[in-house]
Amino acid sequence: MRIAIVAGEASGDLLGSRLIKALQQQKGAEIHFEGIAGSEMMSAGCQTLHPMERLSVMGFSEVLPRLGELLALRKRLVQRWKHDPPDIFIGIDAPDFNLKLEALLHQHGIPTVHYVSPSIWAWREGRVKKFQGAVDLVLTLFPFEVDFYKKHQVAAKFVGHPLADEIPLETNQAQARKALGLDANKYTLAVLAGSRGGEIKRLAPDFLRGIHLIAQQYPDWQFVTPLINPKIRQQFEQYQQQLTPNLAITLIDGQSRKVMMAADQILMASGTATLEGLLINRPMIAAYRVAPLTAYIIRRFKMIKSKYLILPNNLCDELLVPELIQEAVTPLAILQAIEQQYHQEQHLKAHQKQCFHKMHLQLRQGASKQAAKAVLGLMASRKK
């Protein structure tokens, strides 16, 4: 058995490695994997035909100079697998590269699977047309995505989210604080301003000013910020020194998940981290801000279709996480949102915890095992 597989970034490489191991466990060691893989997938036994890092580009300004290289790579992969077809192709995330590759391989009779749906249910819904007639099966991380694809006549299966499998249903706050060197008895606000330079630039100044206001109101609180790498840390420290030099805030290298486990409350940038916050089951305030021109285009053409912008709210179909969007991200708004959530009535706090716990259970499906089972099921149905 031969499986072709392409991942385009670190998160996809991790998903791919787990899927490879699950397929090996269910089918035995006779499967040969080849494609584009990172270190995790290679360690799991995948032969890489091209460095994965060359696919890891984001945004028009980064893609355009490399467009010729990416198109040539896709053409080589199509030619290779057209002349020596694999039993199935699996594209992991990276939709800009993988969806066209899936369509071309599908034309040559190769079964195709796309693992991880882009957020087309939230914005640019028209992108679903790229799946129609090009992908035999979409493996989704969230349950509501299945109905969206079925509405557009695309086969989809919910397999669960790997993070829900990784993160325990109950986390040890005291243990996390001890590991991070935080005061065990102080109310703790975790502050996650983002993992990319653009996010830090757009959110950190208002986050810091907002925390400064909170510190004035609640001098006994402690504040802690995880920073993904030295470059991001330096950028954040520069804003802190310029804007709030007297603010006492503990900076942690990495360990964002442990920081959230240590927290009583979280102020964070919108993104995957909000899902981790849900799974860790902490009250959150989430902020989202893009460049003004981007915001204008999104609003002008009504590109966002989902009821809520923040993922946990969409998952729970309820406004459980206050959303501060674009111009609404101000120091005063941050203070008011944190205070309102802090003073929230106990029955509302309990309701949020119950909803987050229920969603954790729903997403905790053994995602890699379920994905492998779906892939093998598709292969078996095509051989009949």
What is the DSSP secondary-structure string of 185-203? TS-EEEEE--SSHHHHHHH
> Residue 203's beta-bridge partner residues?
none
Q: For residue 254, which of 274, 272, 233, 234 has the smallest C-alpha distance?
A: 233
Mean pLDDT of 224-248: 96
Structural contact between residues 206 and 292, judged by C-beta atoms closer than 8 angstroms = no
Q: Kindly state which CATH superfamily the domain 173-363 is placed in.
A: Glycogen Phosphorylase B; (3.40.50.2000)
Tokens for 151, please give them: 């509405």
Q: For residue 36, which of 64, 61, 69 has the smallest C-alpha distance?
A: 69
- DSSP per residue over 36-67, as a string? EE-HHHHHHTEEEEEEGGGG---SHHHHGGGH
pLDDT digits over 116-167, tens only?
A: 998 887 666 778 999 999 999 999 999 999 999 999 999 999 999 999 999 9
Q: Does domain 2-160+365-383 have CATH number 3.40.50.2000?
A: yes
Residues of the chain with CATH 3.40.50.2000: 2-160+365-383, 173-363
Which strand ranges, in their side-by-side order, compose the sheet holding 2-7?
46-51, 32-37, 2-7, 88-92, 112-115, 137-140, 156-158
Q: Where are the alpha helices (DSSP H) in 60-143?
A: 60-63, 67-83, 95-107
Q: Of the given ranges (22-31, 39-48, 92-101), which has the lowest mean pLDDT?
A: 22-31
pLDDT value for 59: 40
Q: Where are the alpha helices (DSSP H) in 263-366?
A: 272-280, 292-300, 311-316, 331-342, 346-363
- Answer whether 0.85 is exceeded by the pTM: yes
pLDDT digits over 322-339, tens only?
A: 999 999 999 999 999 999
Which strand ranges, in their side-by-side order, compose the sheet holding 222-227?
250-253, 222-227, 188-192, 265-269, 284-288, 323-325
Rounded CA separation 158/363 (Å): 9
29 has pLDDT over 90: no
290 has pLDDT over 70: yes
pLDDT value for 223: 98
Composition of the chain by helix, strand, coil, percent to 5: 55, 15, 30
Phi and psi torsions of 87, nearest 5°: -70, -30
